Structure 1
Amino acid sequence: MTSSELKNTDFSPVDYAIGSPQFIYFVWCPVNLTDVFATTPLLFSRPTEAQVSGIPGVSVLVINQGEIVHSNNFGFSNLAENILVTSDTIFHIASMTKSFTIACINRLRVEGKLTLDNTIQDILPEAQSRDPVVAQFGTVADLLGHRTGFYKVDSIWLGAEGELMFKQEQATAVFNQLRSVQSVRSKFMYNNIYFAMLGEIIAKLSGMTRSITTKVNSLPDNTSLTYNAFSDATPFNVPLPGSSASGALGASGSLMSTSNDLSKYYKALMKCWTAQTNHKERASHIAENLLFDDVSWLFTPLQIMDLPTAREKSYAGGWARSQLPGTHQSSLVGDTSFVMLLPEAESAVVVLTNSMALNDAADWIGQLLVEKLLDSPIRNDYARLASLSAKRAIKKYEELTNKLEAGKDLSNPPKDLAKYAGSYVGFGGVFLIDIAVVKDSLELRWQGRKSQALPLHHYREDVFSWFLTFDDQIKHGLFPAYRPQYYLMSFKSEDEKGFKILNWVHDGDVVEGENFYRLGDSQSRVSGISL
């Protein structure tokens, strides 16, 4: 039966198990997905339909038993020019990049150039973490499994307007400055800097040069534009993350691809899994010349994700494992995407979108397809859930606005604004916050860049706020955060020149915040500032 004949075939799960009693899995047959795709458009916005999530375009693909059984596309890759999404439209896939990174690490492992137990410092002597345990004992596996216990500093490396705040060669310097908030190997704590470090390891051991970003004017014509969703779900075109500066996103989330091309990759992974595991009854039909060596290593659990847990949920490098499927989602300015693999059945669901939506619409669509693929007896109303979650996102931001307003105290005016002005550096000198007086007001500039300029308003005493409306954050290409302290800059330790310290709670795991020291003071180190 051909793939086209499979597309509209009904099925029920085949309830027999293959393999040992310790590892039971089911084989699923083709499904009728027609009714699913009648629901899918309701989960995102199109100009002619009620808007829900704020996604202009979606590309979906379903693989079953190693073959594509359905692919479909909705909406637009370019709203202004009414260009439709196709299965060959190029999307930014953000954190779905990570599975490709671990495939490169696996190639180096197979070639004998590294092991999981190699310490980071063995390979990169310049990796001198401020945490003495990680500095001495941190391994490649710790990076792959997100298990060093460091906070994630997402607000530091990704700025406004799609700009990355660090250059690739600064990745190690940033890693060295990360603080521990949990003990090593005790808890899963997702951190993009780990995969930036894996990119450094790949570059060094392979001898390959870094290629981090592609400039917008050289992208193929079939590349989708990227969008953020306003509070009313209207899509707003924003720059592609990383397109305006070379930065350290690379191995963490810089790849772009199509649903068609990703299907080849995932099919190859699952084909290798079938051939290389003990399921000999199913492996007998697999041809030689497999693309990946020892593919089961790619799915080896490295760190439990949730504790306590009734079922396994762990992280393998670039894949989140659960008791049934393996998944990975991605979210970045201009992108939310989803992939779920069921390797034993050689089945997968891929969802690519071109917007940071009001909710995780890619996940809703993916779960909808997985439910149908598995013929689940329990079905969720994902269109309704998408509508509710979009409303909840806006409601949460309204609650945040009210909290910030309640904490404001303007009874005492600020000091002379010149006292607050200056350049404040932290992270061992690789991150700078510039405070300038502009037209009788203060202005914040991350890394001193004019493109990163945001207004600062007096909040109380020596605290200023850069809080923006939800839609203004979208216009600036920022991730809306829901913690009040995130939007506050506190100035401390005043002398005759002004304030010596700026404190910013940019990560919720470090409640005391990060100190940035006035440039020129003995506490500050300024080498390596990326301007």
Structure 2
Amino acid sequence: MEHDNGMKLRRNLEAQEALISKICRIAGAPGLSISVLHRGDEVYSHHVGHASVKDGKLLDGDTVYFIGSMTKAMVPALVGILVQDGTLDWKAPVAHILPELAHAFDGRGSEITLIDLMSHRIGMARADALWLQCAGNILLSKSEALDAWISQPTVRAFRADFLYSNFAFDTVGRIIEKSTGKTLGANLQEEIFGPLGMTRTSLNDEFSKDPNAAKAYFPLKDGTPVEVPVPTISDKTIMAASGGVRSCTNDLSRFYKNLMHAANDQFNHQRTSTPGSPFKQLSTIWGPHNQLPVHSMRETSYALAWARTQLPSPLGSFNYNKHLVPAMPVIGRGLPSRLVVYHGGSMQGFTSAVYLLPETETAVFALQNSSALCDACDWVPQMLVQTILSGSPHSDIDFVQLATVSVARGAKLADEVEEKLQRSREKGTNPRPLKEYVGRFWHRSKSFRIDVAVESDETLRMCFQGMPSETYCLRHLHHDVFVWNEPHDVNAKRGRFQTRPVESYGIRFGSTSQGGVIDRLYWLYDETHAEPGMFRREGGVQLAGDVDMPN
């Protein structure tokens, strides 16, 4: 049974601090900030570790982090305001605002609405690998990104299946900007951040240079943190609406407190606005619009940038621990059923998670400045949610053991990729002379290119989008297939996620005829694709030396 006594709740949460620190140490997380609201008031906040390992700078409630995909929930909140004032419409096709969509998505582009986009029910492949690789890099410009997305194949049924999409939210950001004539950041500041007094929340890239901004880290295999470039997403780039907001726990307390209060008011009184609150249309925003791919007899739906899950149930659908353990723990087992509304976020060097229990205006949220060996930023909030629901600091869920198991797997992911690739090798084959693979290869959208060249040390290398930091060694696997995976510590130092599927590390060169001149390459850059994407060689046939690698 949940206990409402604030002092007892605080003591129960404080009793978990040794476990919180232990989970962070196990994960290789240099810094984590966590806050808990109950009955709309902050009852607990705690900061573990450092904003900057090098400087020994401690964290506090004003430390700025990237919040990743927790940004997404702010976008439908803004759209709700624009729907309320008549600027936008939830159910109207958005192709009249972005005509580029009209004939896209296998002819369904003219039907797509804001609700479709924000509930991840478009069915188009995610294609994140075309924009997201090494820390600090954005591989597509604003002028290229939409073409890259609408050229993707349909891989799920329209309005029937859930498939998470960063490009869908990026498209909503474009719609907002085109409809209002203002940047997404300016709209959020004017309509939400300003009215709520969120003075340390922004889409401005300059915020990352704030003296009290957290640095970004990846851990080596032994857990040692390595600093990597902070993300450069802002309202001047793509994906601002998907994950570009920087914020702090003090500001997010204001956001979630006001959001839950307005949601209860609007659901209980069947209205679309709340006196004194910027939030509008919350019955639409928090209503179920899609089904999460989670096996449960209870509700596991998706609203607009929020998961809705009826406890008892596993949680953590948006953080990467689910890839590292055999099964996620069931939160709330044996306790009265409750609705939890939640989301998570991840950008290179940062993770985030938020869990809301709207009926009691309870929020548990955490920010972390590391893409750690496991996601401490999700284990810790889940542990505190269980503590709040049970009214006890003692739990039958061993979160330290979960962290230990997930770290052991997280540290082996790169090794597993290499082992699987080697098992797939066909012995006794040789590549062509390396110069035959040289060329510039274009994605069908003409927005993304791969340059292949032979270096002076007689190694074959490829480069994404002409960016020096996106250059990779191609090692022969068999026939005309090469691989480009790297060891864990190399990935960490480059700020690359370790969770990429093994299939994405193969590059197969091909030709129009069997054994003919190489004129294309194939790359399965999205694991939901039925077939690898084809990249055509510029000019058909190139000579070695026609393509130079960037220095």
TM-score range, shorter chain: 0.7 to 0.9
Q: Which of the residues 510, 518, 530 maps onto 1:492?
A: 510
**Does the 8 Å CA contact 2:176/2:184 hold for their aligned counterparts?**
no
In the alignment, which residue of structure 2 is the partner of 1:422? 439
Q: Distance in 2 between matches of 1:237 and 1:216?
A: 19
Indicate how the Cα distance of structure 1 residues 369 and 86 shifts in structure 2: closer, same or farther if over 3 A, else same: same
Q: Distance in 2 between matches of 1:420 and 1:410?
A: 21
Q: Which of the residues 358, 372, 376 maps onto 1:343?
A: 358
Give yes or no for the alignment of 1:42 onto 2:32.
no
Q: How does 1:330-369 map to 2 (within 5 A)?
A: 330-369=345-384
Q: Distance in 1 between matches of 2:143 and 2:259?
A: 31
Q: Which of the residues 1, 8, 13 maps onto 1:33?
A: 13
Provide structure 2 residue ranges, at least 5 long, that are not aligned to the other structure.
186-201, 311-338, 542-549
Q: Tell me, what secondary structure is at the counterpart of 2:264?
A: helix
Q: Distance in 1 between matches of 2:145 and 2:500?
A: 27
Provide structure 1 residue ranges, at least 5 long, that are not aligned to the other structure.
12-29, 46-51, 523-530
**Counterpart code for 1:513:** P
Q: How does 1:140-159 map to 2 (within 5 A)?
A: 140-159=114-133
In the alignment, which residue of structure 2 is the partner of 1:452? 470
Q: Distance in 1 between matches of 2:75 and 2:143?
A: 17
Displacement of 1:31 = 6.0
Q: How many residues are treated as equivalent by the alignment?
A: 490
Indicate how the Cα distance of structure 1 residues 451 and 399 shifts in structure 2: closer, same or farther if over 3 A, else same: closer
Displacement of 1:344 = 1.5
Q: How does 1:385-396 map to 2 (within 5 A)?
A: 385-396=402-413
Q: Which of the residues 416, 420, 439 maps onto 1:403?
A: 420
Displacement of 1:246 = 5.5
Q: Distance in 2 between matches of 1:482 and 1:447?
A: 19
Displacement of 1:459 = 1.2
Q: Tell me, what secondary structure is at the counterpart of 1:88?
A: coil
1:46-74 per-position Cα deviation (integer Å, ceiling 9, x unaligned) = xxxxxx10110010100000000011111
**Counterpart code for 2:48:** F
Q: Which of the residues 296, 320, 327 maps onto 2:283?
A: 296
**Counterpart code for 1:10:** K
Q: Which moved more, 1:497-506 or 1:65-74?
A: 497-506
**Does the 8 Å CA contact 1:90/1:257 hold for their aligned counterparts?**
yes
**Does the 8 Å CA contact 2:464/2:470 hold for their aligned counterparts?**
yes
In the alignment, which residue of structure 2 is the partner of 1:528? none
Displacement of 1:173 = 1.3
1:317-350 per-position Cα deviation (integer Å, ceiling 9, x unaligned) = 1111112110001122111111011112111001
Q: Distance in 2 between matches of 1:128 and 1:501?
A: 30
Displacement of 1:179 = 1.2
Q: Tell me, what secondary structure is at the counterpart of 2:217?
A: strand
**Does the 8 Å CA contact 1:410/1:458 hold for their aligned counterparts?**
no
Q: Which of the residues 299, 306, 319 maps onto 1:319?
A: 306
In the alignment, which residue of structure 2 is the partner of 1:306? 293
Displacement of 1:369 = 0.8
Indicate how the Cα distance of structure 1 residues 235 and 427 shifts in structure 2: closer, same or farther if over 3 A, else same: farther
Q: Distance in 1 between matches of 2:5 and 2:175?
A: 43
Displacement of 1:497 = 9.3
In the alignment, which residue of structure 1 is the partner of 2:452? 435
Displacement of 1:86 = 0.7
Q: Distance in 2 between matches of 1:137 and 1:421?
A: 42
Query: 4+ residue stretches of structure 1 with deviation over 6 A?
Result: none
Indicate how the Cα distance of structure 1 residues 146 and 331 shifts in structure 2: closer, same or farther if over 3 A, else same: same
Q: Distance in 2 between matches of 1:287 and 1:314?
A: 25
Give yes or no for the alignment of 1:275 onto 2:265.
yes
What TM-score comes out, normalization by structure 2 length? 0.84
Displacement of 1:217 = 8.8
**Counterpart code for 1:277:** F
Q: CA RMSD in A?
A: 2.6
**Counterpart code for 1:371:** Q
Percentage of identical aligned residues: 32
Give yes or no for the alignment of 1:259 onto 2:239.
no
In the alignment, which residue of structure 1 is the partner of 2:79? 105
Q: Tell me, what secondary structure is at the counterpart of 2:343?
A: strand
**Does the 8 Å CA contact 1:326/1:340 hold for their aligned counterparts?**
yes
Displacement of 1:187 = 0.8
Indicate how the Cα distance of structure 1 residues 128 and 301 shifts in structure 2: closer, same or farther if over 3 A, else same: same
Displacement of 1:171 = 3.0
Q: Distance in 2 between matches of 1:246 and 1:199?
A: 11
**Counterpart code for 1:298:** I
Q: Distance in 2 between matches of 1:307 and 1:364?
A: 18
Give yes or no for the alignment of 1:372 onto 2:390.
no
**Counterpart code for 1:238:** V
**Counterpart code for 2:489:** D
Q: Distance in 1 between matches of 2:389 and 2:207?
A: 43
Indicate how the Cα distance of structure 1 residues 113 and 279 shifts in structure 2: closer, same or farther if over 3 A, else same: closer
**Counterpart code for 1:518:** R
Q: Distance in 2 between matches of 1:494 and 1:287?
A: 63
In the alignment, which residue of structure 2 is the partner of 1:474? 492
